[in-house]
Amino acid sequence: MHMRRPATLASLAAELGVSRTTVSNAYNRPDQLSPELRRRVLETARRLGYPGPDPVARSLRTRKAGAVGLLLTENLSYAFRDPAALGFLEGLSMACEGAGQGLHLVPVNPEREDVAAVHRAGVDGFVVYSVPDDDPHLAAVLSRPVPTVVCDQPRVEGVDRVGIDDRAAMQQLAERLIALGHRRVGVLCMRLARDRHDDFAGTERQQNAHFHVQKARLAGLADAFASVGVNWAEVPVVERFDHSSTCGAAAAAQLLDAEPDLTAVICTSDILALGALTEARRRGLRVPQDLTVTGFDGIAEAERVGLTTVRQPVLDKGKAAGKLLLGAVEHGRPRQIILPTEVMAGSTAAPPRTAEERWFGP
């Protein structure tokens, strides 16, 4: 079977006996030629099966790809499962759509450090969402000569940034718990670095964390509790590499096994918190009377079950990232957008005064 190469703009021009420019104009600048000729061009195009100007060749010439690259550290598919990431994606896609730009999801193999996909992506700019600061993919993006916006990440010299004040938000949440009287708390957090470490994370590991968001949230907690005399180094922090409620439940189990008399479990994400709730229920602990559980993000499921959490505007984060990137030409200087957060009061209670209260009530 003979696979005929599709017609090109040049072959179409030759067939018509006009210049290539004229054919190009027929598609891109209809006012530059007579309606009659344009009709003839388009008709001949249809006859020869010419599909219109090749997008790649056009991109090369115009130096515009018409798409924004999105880099996520996780599997692409993860983004479609984590509600917070999803909200971001939704907001970003709205911004792109509004500007007529495509959204190019860069395939990242989290196992291999294969940065080639970043170099292969024909895009006009990148949005980098929540990757560790030492991620080689991030470095690859920064090496590309296109504008970039980072989100939920530390500031990078000369690069626009979108985020929330994770540290202050978590501190606020902690202060509520402190006001209620909680002093013996434990923490569940997401991965702090690229290596799998499903265990307790000491202060050193916390301070060396490569995920800005997690590091900042832990720091916010440390701020708050240290200010009321709690020795942060003694606060147990359990880390989990994978992010699922199942994982959160397992982490909560590990935490409560080691420290059964905690009065509150603070989680750096709602997903983890939902798992913690499951584990608490499994142990027969009443929430919040026996144990207070808090989350972070403000996902729908969390608000449905009345979890105390920090609501962050994930949709707006995506939109802001898109707008920043797509309007990048106009304004010159790298900018930063910090969006507001809100502590959502869900079910919290003062800590039980004695262990007995867990069983007999106050």
Partner DNA sequence: AATTGGTTCTGGAACGTTACGGTCAGGCAA
Partner DNA sequence: TTGCCTGACCGTAACGTTCCAGAACCAATT
Find out whether the peptide bond into 334 is cis, omega within 30 degrees of 0.
no
* Residue 195, Ramachandran bin (φ over 0: left; ψ between -120 and 50: alpha; else beta): beta
- Indicate which of DNA, a second copy, none lies near residue 18 (CB less than 5 to 8 Å, by partner kind): DNA
Q: Tell me which of 17, 49, 284, 332 binds DNA, using CB under 7 A.
A: 17
Q: Which is closer to DNA, CB of 59 or CB of 75?
A: 59
CA atoms within 13 A on the CB side of 28: 13
Size of the site for DNA (CB under 7 A): 28
User: Least separation, in Å, of the C-beta of 104 and DNA?
Assistant: 19
CA dist 268 and 164 (Å) reads: 14
Q: Is 188 helix (H, G, I), strand (E, B) or coil?
A: strand
Using DSSP bridges, classify how beta strands 342-344 and 309-311 pair: parallel, antiparallel or unpaired: antiparallel
Q: Is 143 in the site for DNA (CB under 7 A)?
A: no
Q: Tell me which of 17, 120, 157, 231 binds a second copy, using CB under 8 A.
A: 120
Q: Is 80 in the site for a second copy (CB under 8 A)?
A: yes
CA dist 217 and 100 (Å) reads: 36
CA atoms within 13 A on the CB side of 95: 22
Window of 7-15, 203-211, 214-222, 272-280 that interacts with DNA by CB under 7 A = 7-15
Q: Is 222 helix (H, G, I), strand (E, B) or coil?
A: helix
Binding mask 138-177 for a second copy (x = CB under 8 A): -----xxx--------------------------------
User: Least separation, in Å, of the C-beta of 230 and DNA?
Assistant: 56
Q: Is 51 in the site for a second copy (CB under 8 A)?
A: yes
Would you say 169 and 338 are in contact if contact means Cβ atoms under 8 Å apart? no
Q: Is 67 helix (H, G, I), strand (E, B) or coil?
A: strand
| Cα dihedral: 344, 213, 79, 325 (round 10) | 100
Task: Calculate Rg over the CA atoms of the chain.
Answer: 27
The footprint of DNA on residues 199-238 (CB under 7 A) is none
- Site residues (CB under 7 A) for DNA? 5, 8-10, 17-22, 24-25, 27-28, 31-34, 37, 52-54, 57-58, 60-63
- Site residues (CB under 8 A) for a second copy? 1, 6, 51-60, 65-67, 69, 75-77, 79-81, 86-87, 89-91, 93-94, 96-97, 99-109, 114, 116-117, 119-122, 143-145, 332
